[in-house]
Amino acid sequence: MRKYIIKRIAISVVLLFFVSMIIYIIMRSIPTSYVETQARMLSQMPGAKSYADWLAQLNTTYGMDKGILEGFMQWASNAIHGDFGDSWQFNVPVVEKFQSVIWDSFKLGSIAFILQIFIAIPLGILAARKQYSRSDYTITVLALLGISLPAFFFATILKLIFSAWLGWLPLYGKVGRYYELLSGFDQFFDIAIHFILPILTLTIVGVGGLMRYTRTNMLEVLNSDYIRTARAKGLSEKRVVNYHAFRNTLIPIVTILGGTLPGLFAGALITETLFQIPGIGYTGYLAMVSGDIPFTMFYMVFMAFLTLLGTLIADILYAVVDPRVRVS
Amino acid sequence: MDNENKKDDKSINKNDKSEETSYQANSEDNSLSNVQRVKVLSPGMLVIKRFLRNRLAIIGFIIILFMFIFSFIGGFFSPYDETQVFKHIGTMSKEYVSLSLNEQYRYTSSDENIYNSNMHSKFILAKNKGETNFILDDIKYHISEEGKDFYSIFCLEPIAKITYFRNILSVNLHEGIEMPEEINNYIKTAIEQGETYFKYNSKIYVLDKDGRNYILESTQNVAFESLLIMEKATKDIEVTYEFKYFLRKALMDDEVSIFEYNGERYELIRDEYSISVNHIKPDGKEPYALASEFSIKSISQDVFLSIEFKKELIKTIMSGASSFVYPDEHGEDIEYNILRNNNMYTVKKLTNTHLISIHEQPSLKHWLGTDQHGMDVLTRLMYGGKISLVIGFIVVFLETIIGVVMGGIAGYFGKLTDMVIMRIVDVFNCIPFMPLLIIIGSVMDALDIDPKIRIYYLMLILGVMSWPGIARMVRGQILSLREQEFMIAAEATGLRISRRIFKHLIPNVIPQLIVLATLGLGGIIIYESTLSFLGLGVKFPYASWGNIISGVSTAYEMTNFWFVWIPAGMLILLTVLGFNFVGDGLRDAFDPKMKR
């Protein structure tokens, strides 16, 4: 087992190396005039360095003056030491900006994640137990609706209903206008109110997939021989479903949920952007649109890292949770 | 609610079927030769039958069919074009005239080459210092105050050197200049009285002190400076400098009401704020010019303002009113509104112009109203659907081709080939998809790429980025398929490897491919519309469901122009839902094992 994990980690590291290289190559292939425009723009900001200084800095930080491979090596060696350079858009070190925004994303993601679990798993199991029943069809349609809903459209509808019509919730932003004037609990309440719509969007848009997954797995389990045995033994249907079947359904679900755990830090690009929640997704979006190469580079590699970590966790959990699947 | 009925229908159908079969079994001959009894359906027919039995799949199929008709055929039936802008005639308050109270001297020069703004600024300086002369570019100018707020400017030319000592005057004329003798008396009087200039023969001569001596200079009028502004009454009149100068002089005397110039008679009519000049002709009077302390300019070049209008305007402004009515050339009364900004007044006029019908409410002409560009929303939805669907299909086609080839090769050869291809798949899986699309979108923005070419790039990128899923599935299937007997048989017949992969292995994966492709279509449409919504995908003037929604951003637009974005969003939702229903139904139809 340990050998397997070490092997997987080694593969992941190699993969991450190549992924960041590809991202670097893409970034380098962006026409240089783009960097020059960026330098010109940055030099015009109040209190900024001159155009020539900026251009020189951009070229050295990214090894633009060197070959692509050499430049990448330079970037990678800096990155290993935790130095991702300074963000052009935010004028602070990339890592510092990252630390200041990641927790909002994590809060949004984890609350939506918990809500999804509590909605999707019971409903998925219900749908599977009563396959082709009224509730099964309803749940299937709802799940597919959730999958088919574009996040931006759903978010806009929520804004229309709750912000524009009812006026209950704010249109966007993380804090209200008078946040600074509020006392402790009111501040918390202010943020909570701003987080409701984004969390709702994330939950509804993401819940469908998990629901379908639960249903499919539960169906598979309910069709298996040991469930027939349990029924033949004369156990009550309740015990068969809630005890024998449920535990076995949990195996693939726990695996896939474990895989999504790193994703909680990934932030929701579209949702955060639409609600202007200053999490990693919105920050990344701003960086990308403004051509902030240091932050974009970091953001992309960070996302790739999370994906790799997710698959790794899922694979390891699969072996850990299900004793039948021990990898040789 | 629909689902309940569906489900009930379904169970009823099922019961009917079983009753039917049992009935047949009982009534017919049980022998196997009975074709009716052992009616065998082909696997394809079985799939179709199972698919048709699935209500959701049928609904999805109908939705997609509708979308196709709507997008591909709808465009032909729509009376409008994708980018047709609708206009209507409406009144708009347009800036018409600007007016300011003149508080600065303005010059009127005989020739712009002789006297221009350079001399004018020198004049202002000299006047403020109380000097009567100024020098510019070695040429001397003389300022002569003719009256209140009225100065004449003369260009000086030295003509003689004068020595005056103990009442003896000697005049040394410069070469080529001749002067009558009697001018000497004038010079003498002027010097004795300490004057710096004198008039002789209605011409001014200037005495400039040069040490003990004097220099006599002849003058030539080049310009005058005045606070009064004189404007001609109609476009065709040519008013000469001489006339203006003459008129300005005539205006100084309040008594003068009729004067003669060049044998023509002119009449002056004074009112509180302005003086109008009429040309008296044998057959009647004709407005000729207007003098006032106001500078009145029309905003557009081709409008010439009549004296009457100007007078009315001045009167209104001086009375403090903010609007007045004045008939236009067709005799129709038009209201003018006056906005004041310090000493500047802007007159706005309600004019009829072609306005773009922005955000028009739904009507019979425009079933879903018009958008922010004044284009018919319904028509744009049709064209947008076409683009979204075409992008979806091309991308899915592309990703399936790449996925099948890569997956097939990896699965069939295994070992090192498999390892390499699967690692490539892993790498592609790791590259964050949406961020990459956003980066490429914003780079294309920065490079100003043509919206049409953008669409092709978009398809290419989406296709190249999304094949790993299909490759992985194909490879997984082929890994198990290649161990089966039919592949050993295929190998034994000595078929080429490419034939073995693509003729014998891939057809076995087709069902899964169809399901993946159908579900993938929905995903691609969501990606495309999200990108277009962010303004990084399909760009104006091309329509896409995503960029139609992005037209509304503020709460005001959201609530009031629902007819623009709600239909577009619903179309995206329905289309994706349709593809998901169909994909789901196909999966069930191809793989009945999942049914209990």
What pLDDT shows up at residue B14?
44
From CA A208, how far away is CA A28, in angstroms rounded?
38
pLDDT over 60 (residue B193): yes
Q: Which of A122-126, B4-8, B270-274, B466-470 has the lowest mean pLDDT?
A: B4-8
Does A241 share its domain with A312?
A: yes
Interface check for B13 against chain A (CB to CB < 8 A): the answer is no
**B151-160 residue pLDDT tens:** 888 888 777 8
How big is chain A, counted in residues?
A: 328
Q: What is the mean pLDDT of chain A?
A: 84
Looking at the predicted structure, is the pLDDT value of residue B251 above 60? yes
Could you tell me if B329 and B428 lie in one domain?
no
In angstroms, what CA-CA distances link B595 with A219, B138, B548? 8, 107, 41
Domain-embedded: residue A88: no
Please indicate whether residue B36 or residue B521 has the higher confidence score (pLDDT).
Answer: B521
| Nearest CB to B559; choose among A137, A160, A269 | A160
Number of domains present in the structure of chain A = 2
Q: Tell me how far apart the alpha carbons of residues B250 and B340 are, in angstroms, rounded to a whole number.
A: 33
Q: CA B233, CA B230: separation in Å to the nearest integer? A: 9
Same domain (yes/no): B564, B417: yes
**Which is more confident, B480 or B203?**
B480
Per mean pLDDT, which of A46-50, B191-195, B519-523 is the most reliable? B519-523
Q: How many domains does chain B have?
A: 3
Contact across the interface for A15 and B438, Cβ inside 8 Å: no
Examine residue B20 and state whether it is found in any structural domain, yes or no: no
- Joined together, the tokens standing for residue B351 give 């004019």
* A93, part of any domain: no
Residues B215 and B130 both lie in one domain: yes
Range of the domain at A11: 2-80
Contact residues on chain B for A31, CB-CB shorter than 8 A:
443, 446-447
- For residues B488 and B406, membership in a common domain is answered with yes
Indicate whether B233 pLDDT > 80: no
For residue A264, pLDDT over 90 is answered with: no
Q: Are residues B386 and B327 in the same domain?
A: no
- Does A134 or B308 have the greater pLDDT score? A134
* Same domain as A148, residue A30: no
Decide if B5 is inside a domain: no
In this structure, is residue A254 part of a structural domain? yes
B530 touches chain A (CB under 8 A): yes
Same-domain check for residues A175 and A273: yes
C-beta atoms of A289 and B4 within 8 A = no
Please write the tens of the pLDDT for every residue from B104-139: 788 887 776 677 777 888 888 888 887 877 887 777
Q: A203-242: buried (b, 16+ CB within 10 Å) or exposed (e) per residue?
A: bbbbbbbbbbbbbbbbbbbbeeeebeebeeeeeeeeebbe
pLDDT at A304 over 70: yes
A326 inside domain: no
Predicted confidence (pLDDT) per residue in A21-33, tens digit:
888 888 877 766 6
Are the beta carbons of B594 and A23 separated by less than 8 Å? Answer: no
B422 and B482 within one domain: yes
- Rounded to the nearest 5 degrees, what angle is found at the Cα of A81, between the Cα atoms of A80 and A86? 100
Query: Coil, helix or strand for B220?
Result: strand
- Asked whether residue A213 is assigned to any structural domain, the reply reads yes
Asked if residues B183 and B200 have their Cβ atoms less than 8 Å apart, the reply is yes
Q: Which of B206, B223, B240 is the last residue of a domain?
A: B223
Looking at the fold, whether A8 and A124 belong to one and the same domain comes out as: no
Task: Choose the final residue of a domain: B355, B389, B412.
Answer: B355
Model pLDDT for residues B180-190, shown as the tens digit of each residue: 777 777 777 77
Task: Please check whether residues B370 and B502 belong to one and the same domain.
Answer: yes
Could you report the per-residue pLDDT of B10-61, keeping only the tens digit for each? 444 444 444 444 444 455 556 666 666 556 778 788 888 888 888 888 999 9
Q: Do A46 and A195 sit in the same domain of this protein?
A: no
CA of A187 vs chain B CAs: smallest distance (Å): 25
- Looking at the structure, tell me whether residues A192 and A166 fall in a common domain: yes
Same domain flag for A287 and A213:
yes
Q: Nearest to residue A77, comparing CAs of A15, A22, A20, A19?
A: A20
pLDDT band at residue B74 under the 50/70/90 scheme: confident
CB contact under 8 A, A148 and B580: yes
Residue B29 lies in a domain: no
Q: Name which of A222, A223, A300 is nearest B435 (Cβ-Cβ).
A: A300
- As a whole number, mean pLDDT of residues B271-280 equals 79
Distance from CA of A105 to the nearest CA of B (A): 16
- Which residue in B475, B468, B450, B473 sits closest to B542, CA to CA? B450
Q: What is the pLDDT of residue B20?
A: 46
Encode burial over B232-241: b for 16+ CB neighbours within 10 A, e otherwise: bbeeeeebee
Least confident of B204-213, B379-388, B389-398, B411-420: B204-213
Please state, rounded to an integer, the average pLDDT across all residues of chain B: 79
Evaluate whether residue A305 is within a structural domain.
yes
Q: Which of B223, B246, B275 is the last residue of a domain?
A: B223
Within-domain flag for A53: yes
Q: What is the CATH number of the domain that holds A240?
A: 1.10.3720.10
Same domain assignment for residues B372 and B510: yes
Find the range with the poorest average confidence among A202-211, B113-122, B382-391, B487-496: B113-122
Q: Is residue B399 part of a domain?
A: yes
Q: The domain spanning residue B421 has which CATH number?
A: 1.10.3720.10
> What pLDDT does B542 receive?
85
Mean pLDDT, to the nearest integer, of A289-297? 82
CB within 8 Å: A26 and B522 = no
Cα–Cα–Cα angle for B436, B442, B447, nearest 5°?
A: 125
Least confident of A71-75, B391-395, B462-466: A71-75
Q: Per the structure block, which two tokens stand in for B420? A: 């390499």
Residue of B nearest to A292 (CA): B439
Do A55 and A178 sit in the same domain of this protein? no
Q: Is the pLDDT of residue B595 over 60?
A: no
User: Would B342 be classed as within a structural domain?
Assistant: yes
Task: Give tens-digit pLDDT for A2-12.
Answer: 888 888 889 88
B255 touches chain A (CB under 8 A): no
Q: Which of A33, A152, A157, A225 to mutate to test the interface with B (most CBs of B within 10 A)?
A: A152
pLDDT score, position B500: 85
Question: Are B205 and B235 part of one and the same domain?
Answer: no
Task: Examine residue B250 and state whether it is found in any structural domain, yes or no.
Answer: yes
Per-residue pLDDT of A118-177, as tens digits, reads: 999 999 988 888 888 888 889 988 998 988 888 888 988 888 888 878 878 887 777 777
Domain with B112 in it: 105-223
Q: Do A103 and A70 belong together in one domain?
A: no
Q: Which helix (H) or strand (E) holds A30?
A: none
Question: Does A211 share its domain with A316?
Answer: yes
Q: CB of B527 within 8 Å of any CB in chain A? A: no
Q: Are residues A16 and A113 in the same domain?
A: no
The Cα A148–Cα A137 span in angstroms is 16
Closest CA to B472 of B503, B513, B432, B507: B513
Nearest CA in chain B to A34: B446
Q: Do residue B537 and residue B561 come from a single domain?
A: yes
Percentage of chain B beyond pLDDT 70 is: 92
Which residue from B10, B577, B594 is facing A219, i.e. has the nearest CB? B594
Q: Do B449 and B585 belong together in one domain?
A: yes
Interface pTM (ipTM) of the complex?
Answer: 0.86
* Three-state secondary structure of B232-280: ECCCCCCCCHHHHHHHHHHHHCCCCCEEEECCEEEEEEECCCEEEEEEE
Based on the domain organization, do B145 and B272 belong to the same domain?
A: no
Q: Flag if A307 and B4 touch (Cβ within 8 Å).
A: no
Does A89 map to a domain? Answer: no
Is B3 a domain residue?
A: no
Domain check: are A130 and A216 in the same one?
Answer: yes
Q: Residues 452..481 of B with a Cβ closer than 8 Å to A: which?
A: none
